[in-house]
Structure 1
């Protein structure tokens, strides 16, 4: 069986002659297409014609310079220096060279830039016209033996965290290279070397900590706590407040090493005690006190110094007259003590963890009160916007005197409730029988006075409700 196949007929091909294109080509002038040549480019630089070199020629020159150097060893350093000199006034060339130099120092070496160009960078970096450029400072950091530390210093000097620093240079340098992501590990080590850090440096540190990953932050905080001097200054108030909020409670607390946890307790206590000590000093210097009142305040400041590492929080309550005289000079939690007719006194509320201690500075009674840390007491003592002396006394709690030998007995009283002084704190000697009798004689009038004041507080608070 035979099959016959028919093929579709194709249209006849038309013959087009591009007459106009031919005519255009005939009229073009003769041109010789030149390929880039390193020798010609370098000759142009030497002759002062660097402005005639095209971007394409520059790209080729930078790319081919390493191979050219191998064949011209005697001229490689001099010609590279000449290229950097041109870059001082040529921003486009600057960008090309600095970008590649950053990659060079990240480990790409000869693949990206000739060694002679990398070595000649100082010619450019030492020029007063460009040495203040952030890109130049960063390149100098990258080639340092401790690039991470140098980048941390730049970050601090600019008062920017890692993200902000990368935003500043993202169009100028290749921000993906590892060194730019690793320098956060040097933030805390560098900060600990700063003597008396200023507020801007403190805020820079906290900004850096806030943007770290959980793992990075734990490591940085642990280093910070265990390497900053124990005798911290009031400049650290913001740091301590940040640490207290982030690490004193919850799971982060247990992620810190034991030395770091102990140091954080000391920091918090130290800052709080410094506020207490400053308050006492201001009262002594600013308010018209009688001698016996001034002596009482000094003895209390000395006593609580033995517990300076134990204060978790401190709230200061001031009567109107004291607030006008001193409150603006204290950084901590300072509020107005409502006038309820009680004798004028300043009040400090110490948070010792499981217990709150209330210290009355002056006036009749002038006692120490101890309250368990429960939600009710926490809300009233640290949550109420205003408190009065009678409101605090109305809460009750356990109380202790400030009469003769009170320091010895207060220490035992606090210890019985688990509130211990700082390590290595010396205890007072044992009192004699005569001293004990003298104390007992003075203690009875104080008890009667406290009973009267508590009665008065109950009457006052019942009337308020």
Structure 2
């Protein structure tokens, strides 16, 4: 019967006698099989031969140390301390121990490391050679009842946000442990414990806020606004500018608590008023003013201090003479006032929410003008790069004087337009009949002067 397939031929089986195998084995070099044990590791450490131990030896020792401790209770702490001392100069062993210690303290795996090794950690951590290392600092925090706050402090000291921190330590520690996802909620609570934060610490805070989820950020900003003093805000316009951009307008504004919204108004106003105050002080110090001009500027500076909470924005316009004298000492929105033949004066434009207030510091008239906040006025007063005294006066607006007793009457004028002073501001005094007559006389002259200036402005434009 013919088969369709042929059976392949197999090679012959080699004939090997037992004698040949014995001879082959006898020619092999002697080999000693080393079985890992905790005692072996400890003996090597005692003899100063820890560098001769294999990674397998160390892995077995770390794994079996807890059981070994039960049988050698009196030696458990001392031997664990010896292992940590070796880890100071052995980066591989260091990594093995720190990784397991992080898991132990986070409650992920309680049996991952012998208790004696966890108790001896400070022997290692207090060494000058390793105490500065970020993983070591982080594990110290894991033992704290305020681990989140402590970790936020470390992140601040190293100027890293959550993402940067995790990228830095991901090779050294298990970054999935709960603390690393929770500590971002402690960023603002930690920041509010800093008495006088530096510019670098503020930049760190903003970097952390920027990477938060919407809900995390809202919670953090609410806490920040209600727990940081106005003095700190006044010293860090960078922080206030970030809050103004992200929370003063739009839906985020309404997600803040009432208290937080009020504080943000105060912060923004405080920063802007401080720019106004600084401008007045520089003018007083740098320009050769007559006494009545200096007194007028001081009285305006002090008057508007009562409205600092309302300053949403500030634009400063300087004549050439003032810009040369003051130089670049004023930051913020500062522009050159176009020369239109008017007497030299500095001009400040305040954004008070629903109104724009324009202050003429010096020269004839020296009035305050009030304009409704509409798109046209906003474009002109805050949008046009070149403005002049006559250009502003041509816009009209409601006017108030700075003649005798003006401080007593201006608050009522502002209140009638919905502009209220800061809380706890002392009310205006009631002037006597004689003082009122003196004011009326001064007011008549001022009104004639303003009418003349406005005619000049219209003719010029």
Contact 1:268 1:309 in 2 (8 A): yes
1:7 to partner: Cα distance:
10
Give the Cα separation in 2 of the matches to 1:28 and 1:258: 86
Q: Distance in 1 between matches of 2:4 and 2:215?
A: 75
Match of 2:8 in 1: 11
Residue 29 of structure 1 corresponds to 29
2: CA distance, partners of 1:197 / 1:151: 17
**How far does residue 22 in structure 1 lie from its aligned partner after superposition?**
10
C-alpha distance in structure 2 between counterparts of 1:29 and 1:62, whole Å? 32
Distance 1:343 1:351 in 2: 25
**Which stretch of the first structure deviates more once superposed, 240-249 or 11-20?**
11-20
Structure 1 equivalent of residue 290 of structure 2: 290
Q: What do the CA deviations read for 1:298-319 (whole angstroms, capped 9, x no partner)?
A: 1111111111111111111111
| Residue 213 (structure 2) aligns with | 213
Provide the rounded CA distance (Å) in 1 between the counterparts of 2:251 and 2:42: 64
Distance (Å, rounded) in 1 between the aligned partners of 2:75 and 2:324: 77
Whether the 8 Å contact between 1:303 and 1:407 is mirrored in structure 2 is yes
SS at match of 1:36: coil
SS of residue matched to 1:103: helix
How many angstroms apart in 2 are the aligned matches of 1:57 and 1:387? 81
What is the alpha-carbon distance in structure 2 between the residues aligned to residue 190 and residue 263 of structure 1?
19
Does 2:397 match 1:397? yes
Which residue does the alignment assign to 2:97?
A: 97
- Structure 1 position 324, deviation (Å): 2.5
Alignment root-mean-square deviation, CA: 2.2
**Matched-pair contact (CA < 8 Å) for 1:232–1:267:** no
Provide the secondary structure at the position in 1 that maps to 2:107. Answer: helix
Structure 1, 143-152 or 329-338: larger mean CA deviation: 329-338
Superimposed CA distance per residue, residues 191-241 of structure 1 (whole angstroms, 9 cap, x where no aligned partner): 111122111111111111111111111111000000012333542211111
TM-score (norm 1): 0.94
Change over 3 Å in CA distance of 1:258–1:12 after alignment to 2: same
**Contact preservation (8 Å) 1:356, 1:373:** yes
Aligned: 1:225 with 2:194:
no
* Residues 408 and 29 of structure 1, relative CA distance in 2, 3 Å threshold: same
- Contact preservation (8 Å) 1:240, 1:267: yes
> How many pairs align?
458
Partner residue in 1 for 2:106: 106
Change (3 A) 1:18 1:371: farther
Match of 1:202 in 2: 202
- Scaled by the length of structure 2, what TM-score is found? 0.94
CA distance in 2, matches of 1:32, 1:275: 82
Corresponding residue for residue 268 of structure 1:
268
Structure 1 residues 293 and 17: alpha-carbon distance in aligned structure 2, compared to 1, 3 A threshold: farther
> Counterpart in 2 of 1:430?
430
Matches within 5 A, 1:27-426: 27-232=27-232, 234-426=234-426
- Structure 2: gaps of 5 or more residues: none
SS at match of 2:275: helix
SS of 1:176's partner is coil
Contact 2:307 2:421 in 1 (8 A): yes
Bigger drift between 94-103 and 27-36 goes to 27-36
- Say whether 1:444 aligns with 2:444: yes
- For residues 379-429 of structure 1, what are the alpha-carbon distances to aligned partners after superposition, in whole Å with 9 as ceiling and x for unaligned? 111122222111111221111111111122211111111101111211112
For 1:444 and 1:314, the matched residues in 2 are separated by 31
Change (3 A) 1:21 1:235: farther
- Mapped to 2, the partners of 1:177 and 1:372 lie a distance apart of 56
SS of residue in 1 equivalent to 2:29: coil
Does the residue aligned with 2:106 lie in a helix, a strand or coil?
helix
The Cα of 1:143 is off from its aligned counterpart by 1.6
Contact 1:226 1:260 in 2 (8 A): yes
Note closer, same or farther for the CA distance 1:232–1:52 as it changes in structure 2 (3 Å cut).
closer
Distance 1:124 1:384, change over 3 A: same
Task: Answer yes or no: is the 8 Å Cα contact 1:44–1:50 preserved in 2.
Answer: yes
Q: Hey, what's the Cα distance between the residues in 2 that align with 1:16 and 1:385?
A: 101
CA contact (8 A) 2:108 2:177 kept: no
Report the Cα offset of residue 81 of structure 1: 0.3
1-side partners of 2:379 and 2:420: how far apart? 25
